[in-house]
Structure 1
Amino acid sequence: MGTIIRRTAAAAAALALLAACSPSDAGGKTKLTIATFGEFGYEPLIAEYQKLHPDIEVQNRVTDFDTHHKGLATQLATGHGAADVVAIEEQYIPQYLKAKDKFVDLASFGARDLENQWAPWKWAQGTDGDFVLGLGTDMGSLALCYRRDLFAAAGLPTDRDAVAKLIPDWNAYATTAQRFTDKTPNVKFADSAGTVYTAMLNQSPENYFAAKDDSFIGGTNPTVRNAFFLSGGIAQKGQTAAATTFTQAWNVAIKQGSFATIACPAWMLSQIKQAGGDGTSGKWDVTTVPGASGNQGGSFLTVPKQSEHPQQAYDLARWLTAPEQQKKLFLSDGILPSEPAVYKDPQVLEHKDPYFGDAPIGKIFAASADSLRPNYRGLHDADVRPEFGRALGRIEDKTENVDQAWADAVQQAQAALK
């Protein structure tokens, strides 16, 4: 799941303490733990699973994105504390495929028999060809969420099809940003340069590292440079709210209507609803994202070798990722399925969201699913990606211009690799 929900330090600490304790079997029941980041919508499914399997008791651990993944790294290094089933976000999959000795090969439980359940690109993400690391949960195909009322105030079209024609690519997005600013200078066009930048990168097969040999290409890859200069250019003109996704500033900006657009994967819609509350219901709409289809987010359920019950853990992961459960999660929480049989299901395709002006989110988000291709992140993506994000932030706070920020980002990324 791409969802990142920040919790208080006290709550995170308490959950981390829970993560250090492995439940033992008692009362004749097998106790399993599943660790996720943010909300995967699993609570009602877990309750259902326990009713179907009265001999199983499942504890659901939920922490924020960073706490979860850093905690997993520590648990694997120390050899204890990992849950029986662990969610891993797609950007970390290459890293953990290199550490596959720490995980159960799900092929040993027959996972390969399920291969056709997923979109081919999604299945390929979770395996190195032989070893099956995880079973896919959701995916994050992109759309564009926009405020109809703010578009109307700027004299722009508000119908979702007309907006799609107005902004077919990112150059048109930048042009529209200027038109919007000329008419409504007190409202920003985008939430942050980082969101625009990330969306553009997610439409490319490679970003900072070459898929063939994992070499650093961030400074020479035209996709990275173009994305940085376009998003940085918007920021330099003061057309972003400088509100980083899922921060308190972002929540406030949504509630106050401080910006008009955001590139949004399906899982983000629930976050926009939570931040905006009833006050922005019906003001938002959804249309196709500028440029090609791209994927942002999506996870896999894995089973660390530390699990004392790998078969039961696999059975739980298989059930949670089965088509029936993926369909329930979309209809209840808007979590986009990664399985063709589900995202092509008539009930999914016909699903509309009244908060977003009855936008046909099933059709919009599923439309590009078959053509999606994950972009190669590289083993050290987490070391260099933040440097470019911080550089865009320096443009937004006007301490650097685009050229300076780009040069510094490339230099700092290279230094981080040393």
Structure 2
Amino acid sequence: MRTLTRRPAVAVLTTALLLLASACGGSDAAAGKIKLTVATFGEFGYGPLFAEYQKQHPDIEIQSRVTDFDTHFKTLATQLAAGRGAADVVAVEEQYVPQYIRAKDKFVNLADYGADQLKNQWSPWKWAQGTDGSYVLGLGTDMGSLAMCYRRDLFEQAGLPSDRASVAKLMPTWQAYADLAARFTAKLPKVKFADSAGTVYTAMLNQSPENYFSSKDDSYIADTNPAVRNAFFLAGGIAQKGETAAATTYTQAWNVAIKQGSFATIACPAWMLTQIKEAGGDGNTGKWDVTTVPGASGNQGGSFLTIPKQSAHPKEAYDLARWLTAPEQEKRLFLSDGILPSEPPAYKDPQVVAHTDPYFSNAPVGQLYAASADTLRPNYRGLHDADVRPEFGHALGRIEDKSEDVQQAWDDAVKTGREAIK
């Protein structure tokens, strides 16, 4: 979906920072027009939509700010603390939503403009992510329901079935996936089965209703939640056997590994397909395919459009955010950029469901991701998810570089995760 959006980020917000009082700010109208600034992390595919909106609203001028994930959230934290400089419409990724809902004094309550009347437009779990009941932080953009991308040619070289239905039957569960990794590596020892342990771990973890924190009281449960332990030991076990390419997603090494065909599978939300295409280049057209992911579908990624109270034009900003997230625009973004809507009217649209991708062997990506989206359930992230999650990713990396075994890495991750909260 976006070249720089979905990699895990180091936490950039602290409780103290979020509690700082904010003053009203925002940019002045420009030469008779109302100037609205929209800040996103990576490209959201909004360029053509901005042009159309300005044509329909000649009194509006839209300016786009696009930065990478870390820069976006570090800058936003500074702007919120200073009480000035924030865009009129700001994209917030799902892992930061719980923190910002707690900092509601810094953001417009979109319910004041009637957003709560639109709740049935979104999947229930998506709507629930962006609200605490009476307060609505943002309007949902995309989501990241999962499928499994795989190399047909490498499966064939390993003597395995390569058609979508057969591949899905080979790995209905994550344990079956791990068993298949061993079979594959035995046949093609120079090719790895997965890109990284972190990708497998994240996909498994996102299928659980709770991760590192309890949905009841936000207490740290990483050390007692069986979903976290099971995901870590299965992914870590694959890594310890040398069955991953140790290529962290969205890095240059990952791009090179895709281009060179160094690994055979990766759990992939819809927005990742564009990144695989860009990394693989034309020479890999038709080598990839897409099938269902092991286990139940989980969500990986997704954002909300919010309006900081600093905005000088909150009503106009809300009207723009509402238009950008309307089903018709969400549908267009999927057909043009592969950005999966979080709204059933959009992802169930006949054009979306019928959409195929020639790069991925004409896989019925619209059908696959729509079906996956329908099975999604809430996944509680917690106020400090962005602090803790990287610690477990680093620990899996230490298994891949052979500096720790799975048990050592687990013990360290549980400890450093707890310390990260403090």
Aligned length: 405
User: Equivalent residue for 1:266?
Assistant: 270
Measured at CA, do residues 22 and 97 of structure 1 come closer, stay the same or move farther in structure 2, by a change above 3 Å?
Answer: closer
Aligned to 2:340, the other structure's residue is in SS state: coil
User: Equivalent residue for 2:220?
Assistant: 216
- 2:298 maps to which of 294, 297, 301: 294
Measured at CA, do residues 110 and 5 of structure 1 come closer, stay the same or move farther in structure 2, by a change above 3 Å?
Answer: closer
Structure 1 stretch 112-121 or stretch 129-138: which is displaced more?
112-121
Query: TM-score by structure 1 length?
Result: 0.95
- 1:226 maps to which of 230, 239, 249: 230
Query: What is the deviation of 1:3?
Result: 5.6
Kindly indicate whether the alpha-carbon contact (under 8 Å) linking 2:2 and 2:43 is maintained by their aligned counterparts in 1.
no
User: Partners in 2 of 1:344 and 1:383 — Cα distance?
Assistant: 35
Kindly indicate whether the alpha-carbon contact (under 8 Å) linking 1:3 and 1:267 is maintained by their aligned counterparts in 2.
no
Measured at CA, do residues 2 and 227 of structure 1 come closer, stay the same or move farther in structure 2, by a change above 3 Å?
Answer: farther
User: Equivalent residue for 2:64?
Assistant: 60
Letter in 1 for 2:249: T
Aligned to 1:368, the other structure's residue is in SS state: helix
User: Equivalent residue for 1:360?
Assistant: 364
User: Partners in 2 of 1:417 and 1:107 — Cα distance?
Assistant: 31
Do residues 327 (structure 1) and 360 (structure 2) align?
Answer: no
- Which ranges of 4 or more aligned residues in structure 1 deviate by more than 4 Å? none
Q: Deviations over 1:123-165 (max 9, x none)?
A: 1111100001000001100000000001101011100011011
Query: What is the deviation of 1:4?
Result: 2.6
User: Equivalent residue for 2:136?
Assistant: 132
- 2:153 maps to which of 138, 149, 154: 149
Kindly indicate whether the alpha-carbon contact (under 8 Å) linking 1:2 and 1:140 is maintained by their aligned counterparts in 2.
no
User: Equivalent residue for 2:373?
Assistant: 369
Query: What is the deviation of 1:22?
Result: 5.9
Letter in 2 for 1:4: L
User: Equivalent residue for 1:398?
Assistant: 402
CA RMSD of aligned residues (A): 1.4
Kindly indicate whether the alpha-carbon contact (under 8 Å) linking 1:38 and 1:62 is maintained by their aligned counterparts in 2.
yes
- 1:89 maps to which of 88, 93, 112: 93
Gaps of 5+ in 1: 7-20
Measured at CA, do residues 329 and 94 of structure 1 come closer, stay the same or move farther in structure 2, by a change above 3 Å?
Answer: same
User: Partners in 1 of 2:420 and 2:289 — Cα distance?
Assistant: 40
User: Equivalent residue for 1:15?
Assistant: none
Aligned to 1:243, the other structure's residue is in SS state: coil
Letter in 2 for 1:58: I
Query: TM-score by structure 2 length?
Result: 0.94
Do residues 104 (structure 1) and 108 (structure 2) align?
Answer: yes
User: Equivalent residue for 1:70?
Assistant: 74
Query: What is the deviation of 1:322?
Result: 0.4
Q: Identity over aligned residues, as a percent?
A: 78
Kindly indicate whether the alpha-carbon contact (under 8 Å) linking 1:145 and 1:285 is maintained by their aligned counterparts in 2.
yes
Query: What is the deviation of 1:374?
Result: 3.0
Q: Deviations over 1:145-202 (max 9, x none)?
A: 0000011010111000110111101000000000000000000000000000000000
Aligned to 2:61, the other structure's residue is in SS state: strand
Do residues 190 (structure 1) and 194 (structure 2) align?
Answer: yes
User: Equivalent residue for 1:4?
Assistant: 4
- 1:257 maps to which of 240, 261, 274: 261
User: Partners in 1 of 2:392 and 2:326 — Cα distance?
Assistant: 37
Query: What is the deviation of 1:68?
Result: 0.8
Residues 278-357 of structure 1 mapped to structure 2, 5 A cutoff: 278-357=282-361
User: Partners in 2 of 1:122 and 1:34 — Cα distance?
Assistant: 21
Query: What is the deviation of 1:416?
Result: 1.8
- 1:167 maps to which of 143, 146, 171: 171
User: Partners in 2 of 1:332 and 1:91 — Cα distance?
Assistant: 26
- 1:48 maps to which of 42, 47, 52: 52
Query: What is the deviation of 1:71?
Result: 1.4
Q: Deviations over 1:286-317 (max 9, x none)?
A: 00000111100010000000000000000000
User: Partners in 1 of 2:54 and 2:2 — Cα distance?
Assistant: 26
